[in-house]
Structure 1
Amino acid sequence: MKLYYAPGACSLADHIALIESKLPFTTDKVDLKARTTAEGEDYTAVNPKGYVPALGLDAGGVLTENVAILGYIADRVGNLMPQGPLGRFRALEALAYISTELHKSFAPFFKPGSSDEAKSAAKTQLGKRFGLFEDALASQEFALGDQFGVADCYLFVMLFWAREKVGLDLPPNLSSYYERLSQRAAIQQALAEEGLGD
């Protein structure tokens, strides 16, 4: 498999999940402005959407979108989804929430020309939307219980953006969770490989 990524973009979630999975994979860094990869490919030929992530599959073809890629990785290894009859669906539920309610709320911070008012409103909205996980983490170690999974990979990236790019103060449970995850070997490795480590 080959992960197409941009440093610090949401593709970081897939990078973390792939390292955690111990599945063999390579990476190719994408220049999102030039739409080319470090290996010289026209990225729009890989992913016509033009953004990351994309996962080149060993059997051929490409998978895009975090929810799909993270689900695919978790299904391949079986230990990155919560257990139980609803485990997979709880993970998909959390991934969809992270993608649509958290990820999209960062848009004003990455869109050139966004007003200070739009950024302030986005910070308020993010604070409310992070509240779901703040409450859950009062009684559990990870996003969906006592096992690290793909939802944690994606949630970590949202918290990384909140802390490191936006300067959002995290409430106590999320702050402690972020610090714990920051010490996880797979996360440290992914950050280092993307040039984001200390």
Structure 2
Amino acid sequence: MKLYYAPGACSLSPHIALLEAGLDFTTERVDLRNGRQTESGVDFLTINPKGYVPALELKDGTVLTEGAAIVQFIADLAPDRRLAPSNGTLERYQVMEWLSFISGELHKNFSPLFRPTSSEDAKDAARTNLRTRFAYVAGKLAERDYLMGSQFTVADAYLFTVLSWAAFVQFDLSDWPVLGAYQQRVAARPAVQQALRAEGLLK
């Protein structure tokens, strides 16, 4: 398998998941700013016409896109690692619930803060939404190590990735110390450290 990624982007989530799962894979960096070229010179649009990461290329050439789908696929390839509950269980749907929430309510609200063309009104609205959503997440994490309790799942890989963006857009998380503690807890995991180093995000 090959993961197409951009450093620190949402592709960090499946990168972490692949390492947590102990699977064999390669990576190829994508320059999303300058023509969407991969590091080997391939036009990324020929791999993922949507034009954004992550994209996971399977051995047979099939390309899977959308982070929430990719991380569940990865989890199901290594069920012994317990990165997602078994299919059909309520707990699995709860992980899917978290993935949907992170994607729609956190990830998307960061987008205006990264976009240079966003108006100040759009940025203020995004910050207001993020404050409400992070307060909700902090409440859920107040008495548990991870989103699903004591077990790290692919939802945590995604939340950790999104939380890491706060520093880049000067979004202050200090009102929720539990989120800072959670970030440190996830960051200390060996697979997370390995992914961060591989993407040049950690020396």
Same fold (TM over 0.5): yes
**Offset at 1:167?**
3.3
The one of 115, 120, 125 aligned to 1:121: 125
Q: What is the percentage of aligned positions where both structures have the same residue?
A: 52
* 1:50-75, Cα deviation, whole Å (9 max, x unpaired): 11000001132100001110110011
What's the counterpart of residue 66 of structure 2?
65
What's the counterpart of residue 188 of structure 1?
193
**Offset at 1:139?**
1.6
What's the counterpart of residue 76 of structure 1?
77
Which stretch of the first structure deviates more once superposed, 122-131 or 82-91?
A: 82-91
- Structure 2 stretches of 5 or more lacking a match? none
Tell me the number of residue pairs that the alignment of Structure 1 and Structure 2 aligns: 198
**Offset at 1:141?**
0.8
SS at match of 1:24: coil
Q: Is the 8 A contact 1:82 1:145 kept in 2?
A: no
What's the counterpart of residue 146 of structure 2?
142
SS at match of 2:186: helix
Q: Which amino acid aligns with 1:8?
A: G
Q: Distance in 2 between matches of 1:138 and 1:118?
A: 30
Which stretch of the first structure deviates more once superposed, 47-56 or 120-129?
A: 120-129
Q: Is the 8 A contact 1:82 1:144 kept in 2?
A: no
Q: Distance in 1 between matches of 2:195 and 2:100?
A: 23
* 1:112-139, Cα deviation, whole Å (9 max, x unpaired): 2223333232122111112222111112
What's the counterpart of residue 10 of structure 1?
10
- Structure 1 stretches of 5 or more lacking a match? none
* 1:128-157, Cα deviation, whole Å (9 max, x unpaired): 112222111112110111100100000001
**2:178 is the counterpart of 1:173:** yes
* 1:82-101 equivalences in 2 (<5 Å): 82=85, 85-101=89-105
RMSD between superposed Cα atoms in Å:
1.5
Q: Which amino acid aligns with 2:155?
A: A
Q: Distance in 1 between matches of 2:194 and 2:3?
A: 15
Q: TM-score, normalised by structure 2?
A: 0.92
SS at match of 1:144: coil
What's the counterpart of residue 158 of structure 2?
154
Q: Which amino acid aligns with 1:70?
A: V
SS at match of 1:105: helix
* 1:11-55, Cα deviation, whole Å (9 max, x unpaired): 010111111111000000001131110012111110000110000
What's the counterpart of residue 21 of structure 1?
21
Q: TM-score, normalised by structure 1?
A: 0.94
* 1:143-178, Cα deviation, whole Å (9 max, x unpaired): 111100100000001110013443322402111101
Q: Distance in 1 between matches of 2:183 and 2:85?
A: 20
* 1:27-46 equivalences in 2 (<5 Å): 27-33=27-33, 34-46=35-47
**Offset at 1:188?**
1.2
SS at match of 1:131: helix
